A and B are shown apart, each in its own frame.
Chain A
Amino acid sequence: MEAIRTDGLQKRFGKVRALDGLTLTVEQGTVFGFLGPNGAGKTTTIRVLTGLARASGGQAWVAGIKVGIGRKELARKIGYLPEEPPVYPWMTPPEFLNHVAATFGLSASDRRARTRELLELVGLTDVSKRRIGGFSRGMRQRLGIAQALVNRPQVLFLDEPVSALDPAGRKEVLDLIVGLRGQCTVFMSTHILADVERVCDSVGIISQGKLVTEARQDELLARYAVPAFELVGDNGSADDVRQWAATLCRLPWVSSVAVDGTSVRVVVSDLQAAKRSLLPSALQAGLILQRYEIVHPSLEDIFLRLVGDGGER
């Protein structure tokens, strides 16, 4: 079943088309990574889907409800964490969560219980007496996730949830997101590909307001899989590696060769021929290798292929 569906969604700011006929579907219960370069339309999509902004054209549904500004029934079913979690610095975390819970009409005892539960979940119980104004960025982000979960949302929107965090903070927040799998649908926008590879089931790539591709992550990797080899020469062998790499371009089963210092990435058209000939060729050229492996395409490879330098559409 679909948790999110958009159909030709458009958003214009004057002459700028922030969303240009965006059509996508997100299955219920999945963690969906919404990828795109800066300015691609990720935040605008989330603002429209959460009812904070009005679409200029097209339609969208979240949790079966048609989106629009001020839709109470939509608000009850979603959670939202903006890129920089805005908080009231003069509140303590329990006061903040209690306030949010009250907006959903929870009773006093339910509010207390939910606040305790969420503070425990995001690891802020120990600092519950401190004012939020003194919190680090990571602590604010965790509190931001807690407030987005108060109503046990069917769909959780996270806008760049880890982009401004240090590695430790990033790991904490990503672990939290992984823990939500199966509990709700997570729609997470980001430009950090490694995070998507780590936590997302499905991926949508947006560029210039249009969806470039959308699929399960494993399907996407398989779809764009190209056989490639990576070889790393010994230290100080950069010249030898470069000379040898130049000879590879003439071989019929080699599609492309990229050299970076002592490292060579060879994309091939005939995997069997490459398996038979590539390693002997390197050894014949006198290279001492530190590494030789068949590599699988990363999400980054696919992203750059689809979006980088205009991409292939």
Chain B
Amino acid sequence: MSAFFVALRKELLEQRRTSRLLVAIVVLVAFGLLSPLTAKFMPEIFKLLPQGEQIARIIPPPTEQDAVAQYIKNTDQFGILLALLMAMGAVAVEKDKGTAALTLVKPMPRSAFILAKFVALGLTFVVSIALAGVAAYYYTLILFGPLPLLPWLALNGLLLLHVLVFVALTLLGSTLFKSQALAGGLAFAGLIVLSLLGSLPGVEQYSPDRLLLWGAGLMGAGGSAQWVALGTSVALIVVSLLAACLAFRAQEL
């Protein structure tokens, strides 16, 4: 078994034993279920508010597009939040507690140590977003009718890629610093910079946020393919991981 798979097996066991996998699944599936429900019953929810009757009257009847929009917003927000929380301690805690030193004093390449963490977190999000996608699809089917299947799969793929950008960025922060807070801070700063990038005219097409626009477009909200944003996202992941591996190779433990 190669060193990478040894490290990956440990990471996957850790995801399971420390209930991180379960938490990610529960949170994202819950929002997958709630998204079509919220869209469907939004007018009813408004009616419960003071003067809500008037607001409910001017809201157009909910459609599956509203369910999809809710799903994109919820899955992305909570996916990113989970990415930050789960990845910020991934390397920093191991450095701080000394388990990194104990592992890396053995013939375990440092790049395998980092990449295994990314792949394990990536698999956690693959499973969680897949289950959230199934849950959201099922409830949308019951409440509104069927969604186009292939575009739905593509949308979930784009959501996953968007979340993975923040997994990679947070992992880089976790590698550079010994403190979880600093690692999370770096990822949060990245989140703000990328959001600003999305609103700056001329460079907005580079923002990974555009992947969400593309996904919504695939589901019928209009808009074109965002290949540049796809390229930027993949490049951000690759560069973050490369930087993490190089920085970690030079670090004393």
Give chain A's interface residues, CB within 8 Å of chain B: 47, 50-54, 69-70, 72, 75-76, 78, 80, 82, 84-88, 90-91, 95, 99-100, 102-105, 147, 151
Contacts and interface: CB of A to CB of B under 8 A. Distances in A.
> Which of A47, A82, A102 has most chain B Cβ within 10 Å?
A102
Contact of A75 (B1, B9, B107, B252): B107
Pairs A-B, 3 closest by C-beta atoms: A86-B98, A90-B17, A102-B6
Contacts, number: 70
A153 B101 CA distance: 17
B91 to A, nearest CB: 14
A52 B110 contact: no
Contacts of B17: 90-91
Contacts of A72: 107, 109
B93 to A, nearest CB: 10
A104 B106 contact: yes
Contacts of B103: 103
Contacts of A99: 6, 9-10
B105 A50 contact: yes
A181 B74 CA distance: 62
B101 A70 contact: no
Nearest to B19: A90
14 contacts: A47-B252, A47-B253, A70-B109, A75-B106, A75-B108, A82-B102, A87-B102, A88-B10, A88-B14, A90-B13, A90-B18, A91-B13, A102-B6, A103-B106
B182 interface: no
Given A86-B102, A105-B1, 16 more contacts: A52-B101, A52-B104, A52-B105, A52-B252, A70-B110, A70-B249, A75-B105, A75-B107, A75-B108, A76-B107, A80-B105, A86-B101, A87-B102, A90-B13, A91-B17, A99-B10
Contacts of A100: 106
Given A103-B6, A147-B102, A52 B14 contact: no
A72 B111 CA distance: 13
Interface string B91-133: 0000001110111111111100000000000000000000000
Contacts of B108: 75, 103
B143 interface: no
A52 B1 contact: no
B3 interface: yes
A51 B253 CA distance: 9
A309 B252 CA distance: 33
B98 to A, nearest CB: 4
Interface in B1-40: 1, 3, 6, 9-10, 13-14, 17-18
Nearest to B7: A103
Contacts of B101: 52, 82, 86
Contacts of A54: 252
A4 to B, nearest CB: 15
B1 A84 contact: no
A88 B105 contact: no
A49 to B, nearest CB: 10
Contacts of A151: 106
A95 B13 contact: yes
Contacts of A53: 252-253
B111 to A, nearest CB: 10
A197 to B, nearest CB: 29
A151 B106 CA distance: 9
Nearest to A75: B107
Nearest to B17: A90
Contacts of B105: 50-52, 75, 78, 80
> Which of B18, B98, B105, B253 has most chain A Cβ within 10 Å?
B105
Given A47-B252, A88-B14, A105-B1, A80 B102 contact: yes
Contacts of A87: 99, 102
Contacts of A102: 1, 6, 9
Contacts of A105: 1, 107
Nearest to A111: B1
A265 to B, nearest CB: 42
Contacts of B102: 80, 82, 85-87, 147
